[in-house]
């Protein structure tokens, strides 16, 4: 069961205009906890164009370094489409809970969720590199 912090506590989510339709199709193509999270995040997302001034944010192709607070582990991954995923190579699918949670976040943002194993995770974005 997917649980998150209260909506008012969640950070702003930015989505690149060029990615929105693909992400929407991916989120609606399956029924899973990760797909539901992605749908929720897209519903509240601010869509930004390439010419809009926005801070760097996690989008498809971005490299993101984040801290998983409960474990204390820092990871660096590239957010990718499901068919490009290869966790051994650091390519994390946007169709995973962690990938959907990171989408749209900027440096310093955090996202809290409970995994399907009911373990709470708090992810804190340390750095974002544009694709």
pLDDT tens per residue across span 59-94:
999 999 999 998 899 999 999 999 999 999 999 999
pTM: 0.87
Is 25 buried (19+), middle (13-18) or exposed (0-12) by CB count in 10 A? exposed
pLDDT tens per residue across span 86-128:
999 999 999 999 999 999 999 999 999 887 666 788 999 999 9
- Phi-psi sector, 61: left (phi>0), alpha (psi -120 to 50), beta: left
pLDDT for res 5: 40
Q: Do 82 and 70 touch, CB atoms closer than 8 A?
A: no
Q: Which CATH number fits domain 3-129: 3.30.565.10, 3.40.50.2000, 1.10.3720.10, 3.10.50.30?
A: 3.10.50.30
- Domain-wise residue ranges, the chain: 3-129
């Amino acid at each position: 069961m997917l649980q998150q912090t209260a909506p008012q506590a969640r950070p702003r989510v930015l989505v690149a205009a060029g990615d929105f339709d693909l992400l929407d199709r991916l989120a609606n193509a399956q029924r899973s906890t990760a797909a539901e999270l992605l749908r929720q995040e897209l519903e509240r997302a601010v869509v930004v164009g390439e010419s809009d001034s926005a801070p760097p944010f996690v989008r498809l192709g971005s490299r993101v370094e984040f801290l998983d607070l409960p474990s204390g582990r820092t990871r660096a991954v590239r957010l990718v489409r499901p068919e490009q995923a290869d966790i051994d190579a650091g390519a994390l699918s946007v169709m995973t809970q962690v990938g959907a949670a990171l989408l749209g976040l900027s440096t310093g943002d955090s996202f809290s969720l409970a995994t399907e194993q009911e373990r709470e995770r708090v992810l804190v974005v340390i750095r974002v590199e544009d694709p």
